[in-house]
């Protein structure tokens, strides 16, 4: 059994990790940490976990975490990079759901997150945890920077087009809608029901942090700089991300449906829908899957890609478990095969 620790177990991504791992046949969660809730049972904070875990929260302790095989960080930015070096030196694999190990350029990290990176050597060897691009590297990694939710849906939408060279690398637009759980569990005015119900608004228009990893990863796929105008929007739903991506076609005759089906044919967690269909966020709720549909605009000049994920699963905790499976040589889909929740 893989002995696992979860640092930061009270937020939505930490709770989602515990939910998924409680059903994983090869994992035993040994440590669940929270300074604020130390001593409290997890199923008291999240009653949905009653009967699935008897763990209580404890104060983070690096010495105790060193006894784990893998440690997940579901913590604010800046926490994982402080603790990861000691854990990695002790042979522990680290999967970070914050942004500490997503960006290879530490100057970019400082620009977007207003923090100096305290573990630059570990940052250099970390692997961006999007299996659809980096599966081989993830298998050998000691440190994973789990992708952001908007970034996951956006990259999976554009990856086949850029890899095949059928679109222009500038003028790309990614319009992303997200559920409120993406803001986390902390009490904030902007996350209150009365502030978010019956409402749609854009945010981060002048620059959202996920822009940096979108540019980094899609630029690597395209073999040069890629210009994506990325704008997120908050919608009155709990879970889900819906990205609509627009890109100018170089080759108007390209069979986009065949291109996407070929690129994702062997991907267990990417579902390319039949031609002409439109994915819904509710069709991926609670599941580690990205559903994609690709269309051509009526003018025949523009590719339009629709990409939906659950922001807490394929956009966070499910993808982290997918990476863990790869790192330990397990079947990639282990513990992640439950179908979405409907309605």
Q: Which of 68, 149, 290, 323 is catalytic?
A: 149
The phi-psi region of residue 209 (left if phi > 0; otherwise alpha if psi is between -120 and 50; otherwise beta) is alpha
Cα–Cα nearest to 312, from 303, 324, 304, 321? 321
- Helix, strand or coil, per DSSP, at residue 152: helix
Contact 244, 304 (CB under 8 A): yes
Task: Mark whether 68 is an active-site residue.
Answer: no
Contacts of 185 (CB under 8 A, 6+ apart): 10, 11, 12
3-class DSSP state for residue 336? Answer: coil
Helices (H) and strands (E) in the chain, counts: 12, 13
CA distance between the termini of the chain: 35
CA distance 304 to 158: 10
Distance in angstroms (rounded) separating the CA atoms of residues 201 and 234:
5
Separation between Cα atoms, residue 176 and residue 183, nearest integer Å: 14
> Where in the sequence numbering do the catalytic residues fall?
149
């Amino acid at each position: 059994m893989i002995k696992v620790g979860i640092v930061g177990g009270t937020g939505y991504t930490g709770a989602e990790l515990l939910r998924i791992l409680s059903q994983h046949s090869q994992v035993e969660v040994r440590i669940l940490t929270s300074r604020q809730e130390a001593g409290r049972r997890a199923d008291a904070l999240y009653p949905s976990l009653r009967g699935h875990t008897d763990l209580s929260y404890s104060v983070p302790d690096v010495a105790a975490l060193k006894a784990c095989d893998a440690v997940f960080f579901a913590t604010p930015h800046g926490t994982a990079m402080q603790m990861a070096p000691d854990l990695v030196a002790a042979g522990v694999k680290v999967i970070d759901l914050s942004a500490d190990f997503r960006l290879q350029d530490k100057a970019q990290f400082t620009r977007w997150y207003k923090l100096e990176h305290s573990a630059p050597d570990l940052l250099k060897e970390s692997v961006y945890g999007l299996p659809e691009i980096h599966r081989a590297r993830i298998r050998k990694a000691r440190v994973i920077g789990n992708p952001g939710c908007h970034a996951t849906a956006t990259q999976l939408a554009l990856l086949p087009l850029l890899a095949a060279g059928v679109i222009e690398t500038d003028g790309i637009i990614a319009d992303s809608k997200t559920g409120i759980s993406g803001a986390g569990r902390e009490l904030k005015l902007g996350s209150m029901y009365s502030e978010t119900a019956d409402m749609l608004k854009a945010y981060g228009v002048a620059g959202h942090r996920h822009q940096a990893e979108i540019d980094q990863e899609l630029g690597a796929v395209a073999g040069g700089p890629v210009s994506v105008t990325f704008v997120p929007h908050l919608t009155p739903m709990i879970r889900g991300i819906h990205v609509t991506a627009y890109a100018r076609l170089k080759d108007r005759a390209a069979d986009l449906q065949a291109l996407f089906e070929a690129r994702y044919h062997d991907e267990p967690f990417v579902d390319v829908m039949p031609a002409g269909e439109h994915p819904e966020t509710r069709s991926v709720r609670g599941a580690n899957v990205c559903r994609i549909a690709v269309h051509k605009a009526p003018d025949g000049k523009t590719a339009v890609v629709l990409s939906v994920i659950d922001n807490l699963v394929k956009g966070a905790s499910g993808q982290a478990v997918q990476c863990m499976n790869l790192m330990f040589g397990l079947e990639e889909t282990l513990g992640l095969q439950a179908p979405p929740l409907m309605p």
